Structure 1
Amino acid sequence: MKPHLATWSDPPGRFWKLLLIGMALRILWAIAVPVLPVSDSEAYHQFARTLVDHGVYGWSAAEPTAYWAVGTSGLVAFTYLFTDSYVGVVILNLVAGLMILTLTYHLALRWFGAQAALPALALVAVWPNLIFFTTILSSELFFIAGTLAGLVFWKRPRGNAVLNLILAGVIWGLTSYIRPVILLVPVTLALVDLIQGPRRFVLTATEAGGAVLLILLTALPWTLRNQQVLGAPAMISTNFGANFWMGNNPGSNGGYMELPPEVSTMSEMERNAYLTKEAKRFLREDPGAAARLLSLKLVKLHNRETIGVVWNEQNLRSMIGDRGVSGAKMIATGYWYLLLAGALAGMVVIGRQRGVAAAFFNAPVSLWGYFTALHVVVVAEDRYHMPSSPFIAILAAVALHRLRTLRSGRVLP
């Protein structure tokens, strides 16, 4: 995708200043706020400890699991080889944060030019929620970084095309160990080329098929492990059925809920199959309620951005009190609303300059749409919109550039 907007000069010093600001904010946050695992973080910590102490991925040496994807705990377990503290977790998050900053800039530069790249970097650099996650043991930052790293090589304009495709597929394959939902990202990107004509689309679809195959091959060792340990093949994790059921059952509010009591005696694979079947049955028998839940989940996915505060809340409350915690949630959600509005405005700008179809068939919109559709169908919480953060920032950067152009009186070609 070639940039069609006017290109501004990009002084290297401006890039480095923004990068340093973004990393300084993350380091300062890490110094001020200790890591305290809660919710899913506690599970990741326990799995990492079991890996280090027993060489088994599970709650204990006698309880192997694949309910959560192994990648996050595997990375954290590596740090536990050197320290029992959470310093390694923070370092990993800082590395992921650095990747997110630099790769967001790189992709914005490729897709829309320097006029969008620098604002996109600035928006990600000071994004409160992304900063707050520096002290959270979770999969979010790792998954975003892996997704962006693969995108760098997807249809890269330089280098060997076959090698770039292989690198993209393998990187996304490794990212699948963090979240297997990466599997259909190449398919989503192929759909972008629908408006480029049948020949271009067939070529891109073929490349997407190759990337999907590479992801599956990269995930194959863990699939075989699950076959051996759990008695049935599962690509990476066994929690799809649970998440699908949470978002699609008569008592669902679209978000997290406790699993039904009848699954407590089932094996992981049996539970996954049973809950998947129950969710499908609900969709068939009550399509009206299912449609209402889809709308509810769409709102639930985008109506706030407080998870970074919530998962740091215990430490923050002792530092800044209840009012400070409430204020942090308001700041984070307010920033989210601004970027959400900016991203929608960016789509309008693209539509006016390139045509209505181009406003929807471009990489950042398609990826945002993919992660949105996935969780609108399955289960929704505000944390699940985080993989779309870089793409929302890039679209908002397009709108910012247009606003700056109008204010300065410049006319775009």
Structure 2
Amino acid sequence: MTGFRAVRGDQRALFRWLMLIGIGLRLIWAIAVPVFPVSDSEAYDQFARTLATHGVYGWSAEEPTAYWAVGTSALVAFTYLFTESYLGVVVLNLIAGVMILALTFHLARRWFGESVGMLALGLVAFWPNLIFFTSVLSSELFFIAGLLAGLVFWQRPHGHPVANLLLAGLIWGLTSYIRPVVLLVPVALALVDLVQGPRRFLHRAVQAGVIVLLIVLAAAPWSWRNQRVLGAPAMISTNFGANFWMGNNPQSSGGYMELPAEVATMSEIERNDYLKDQAKQFIREEPAAALRLLALKLVKLNNRETIGVVWNEQNLTALIGARGVMLTKIVATLYWYLLLAGALGGMVVIAGRSGIAAALFNQPVSLWGYFTALHVVVVAEDRYHMPSSPFIAVLAAVALHRVWINQIRKQDRDEPLDIDPDCRGRERRAESLSEKGRAGA
């Protein structure tokens, strides 16, 4: 275990280096690849500029909306009060990126120990897709940062329990303005304690219920705004029906598709309700087809990781050409496959150490499962697995740590031991290993 102790002895320096590398890679990317809004990014940009100029969230001052959650555009609108450029977007993405790096380490250390935390930090620091999103105007990095920040206070071992609960609810309440899907995160986390017995589960379920209530209360002002502007108290956004329909209709491929022509003249609320009812009707009338779509969406959710390249493609093509773009997509997807395999391996490691129940009922697996199930039911694209990224990195770090420990043990077994009753042999061996380490360095 000599190498293991060496890392722990210099853990602060290692943490700083990994953080600096992660931040440096994101800065280099942001300098090399400017922000160029496309797709949803273009909508967020327009909403932010309307909000900054007119104080109205919509395509224009006369077209208020709640189709997309307001949080991302509100954050970006704040930067537009100081500059019309996308510098503020990059700064916000860098702040979110730093939070993701630091909080992934913090949570992995809490769950699995210092060494797993360092490995998880390294995996996130070098994760191509998370780097690429530094130059994308989107909700992804903001949502992941808010999700992790609230998770820090969930079951926090230090501080006052009630204060921790309130802080988790407040942070996730604010995060709901970025993506409302955070609403059921406390429920997914409470399910972890199912295997701990009814009393423990009931206690955790009550905590989850309190946090859900806090999220709803935090979202209440925007619900009231939607009631006043749109005529119905939609909690945050009005796009659930559209997304649900995209993933559940006779023509669906499981991913994004254009909305049907008949909804063009409907209000946002009418459209949301109509498409939600159409999706439910499809599931009731064609359950076999709906099940096939579930399987298709599971594949579509995980079969690649190219969205960070696609949403940077125009500026990236000018920088490295079409072949370079294709190579970048391949590298990003290969990294995704490796981490996906590593995360599954991490679950196997946990199962071997603590049993199958422990492998299935833990916080990173629960949250990975929640976001997977959500989009398998609704609609799937590779961008929708991004909220699971920190948890996949943590589980992959568990597997890497096991490989590392096994390798160290193998090296220890292969080293000839000097048997010495007064322990001088072990001291000489330790000195020898230390000298080898310095020579290798």
The normalised TM-score by structure 1 is 0.97
**SS class of match (1:236):** coil
What is the aligned partner in structure 2 of residue 403 from structure 1? 403
Q: Distance in 2 between matches of 1:174 and 1:391?
A: 21
**Residue 132 of structure 2: aligned partner:** 132
Consecutive unaligned residues in structure 2, runs of 5 or more: 412-441
Amino acid at match of 2:354: R
- 2:172 partner letter: W
Partner of 1:357: 357
Decide which moves more: 240-249 or 10-19. Answer: 10-19
Deviation at 1:19, TM superposition (A): 0.3
Counterpart-to-counterpart distance in 2, 1:361 and 1:115: 22
Q: 3-state DSSP class of the match of 1:338?
A: helix
What is the CA–CA distance in structure 2 between the aligned matches of 1:52 and 1:70, rounded to whole Å? 13
- What SS does structure 2 have at the residue aligned with 1:409? helix
What are the residue-to-residue correspondences of 1:191-210 with 2, within 5 Å? 191-210=191-210
What's the % identity of the aligned pairs? 73
Q: Which residue of 2 aligns with 1:3?
A: none
Alignment-derived partner of residue 223 in structure 1? 223
How big is each residue's C-alpha offset from its partner over 1:94-132, in whole Å with a ceiling of 9 and x where there is no partner? 000000000000000000001210000000000000000
Q: Runs of at least 4 residues of structure 1 off by over 3 A? A: none
Alignment TM-score, normalising by the size of structure 2: 0.91
Partner Cα distance (2:8, 2:17) in 1: 16
Residue 52, structure 1, aligned to residue 52, structure 2: yes
Kindly report which structure 2 residues correspond to 1:265-344, keeping only aligned pairs within 5 A, or say none.
Answer: 265-344=265-344
After superposition, the C-alpha distances for 1:296-335 in whole angstroms (9 at most, x for unaligned) are 0000000000000000000011111110000000000000
Flag structure 1 segments of 5+ consecutive residues without an equivalent.
1-5
User: Residue in 2 aligned with 1:147?
Assistant: 147
- Determine the C-alpha separation between the residues in 2 that align with 1:135 and 1:192: 36
Give the distance between the partners of 2:82 and 2:377, measured in 1 at CA.
41
CA distance in 2, matches of 1:388, 1:212: 20
Shift of 1:136: 0.2
| Residues 55-98 of structure 1: CA deviation (Å, up to 9, x unaligned) | 10000001000000000000000000000000000000000000
- Which amino acid is 2:117 matched to? A
Q: Distance in 1 between matches of 2:85 and 2:60?
A: 20
Distance 1:387 1:258 in 2: 25
CA RMSD of aligned residues (A): 1.1
The 5 Å alignment of 1:61-72 reads 61-72=61-72
Matched ranges for 1:70-85 at <5 A: 70-85=70-85
Is 1:12 the counterpart of 2:43? The answer is: no
CA shift at 1:407, angstroms? 1.1
2:374 is matched with which residue? 374
Partner Cα separation in structure 1 for residue 195 and residue 390 of structure 2: 24
3-state SS in 2 of match to 1:319:
helix
1:304 maps to amino acid: R
1:224 maps to amino acid: W
- CA separation in 1, counterparts of 2:8 and 2:333? 33
SS of the counterpart of 1:9? Answer: helix
User: 2: distance between equivalents of 1:261 and 1:197?
Assistant: 51
Mapped partners of 1:67, 1:60: distance in 2: 14
- Residues 390-411 of structure 1 deviation map (CA, whole Å, 9 limit, x = unaligned): 0000000000000011111179
Aligned residue type for 1:110: R
Q: Which residue of 2 aligns with 1:158?
A: 158
| Cα separation, 2, equivalents of 1:15 and 1:116 | 12
Q: Which string of whole-angstrom CA distances, capped at 9 and with x for unpartnered residues, describes residues 184-238 of structure 1?
A: 0000000000011111100000000000000000000000000000000110000
* Aligned residues between the structures: 406
d(CA) in 2 for partners of 1:314 and 1:393? 29
Structure exhibiting the larger radius of gyration computed from Cα positions? 2
* Counterparts of 1:296 and 1:142, CA distance in 2: 28
- Structure 1 partner of 2:435: none
Q: In 2, distance between residues paired with 1:251 and 1:38?
A: 25
Q: Give the alignment of 1:104-143 within 5 angstroms.
A: 104-143=104-143
Q: Distance in 1 between matches of 2:62 and 2:86?
A: 25
Shift of 1:9: 2.4
Q: Provide the secondary structure at the position in 1 that maps to 2:8.
A: coil
CA distance in 2, matches of 1:124, 1:403: 19
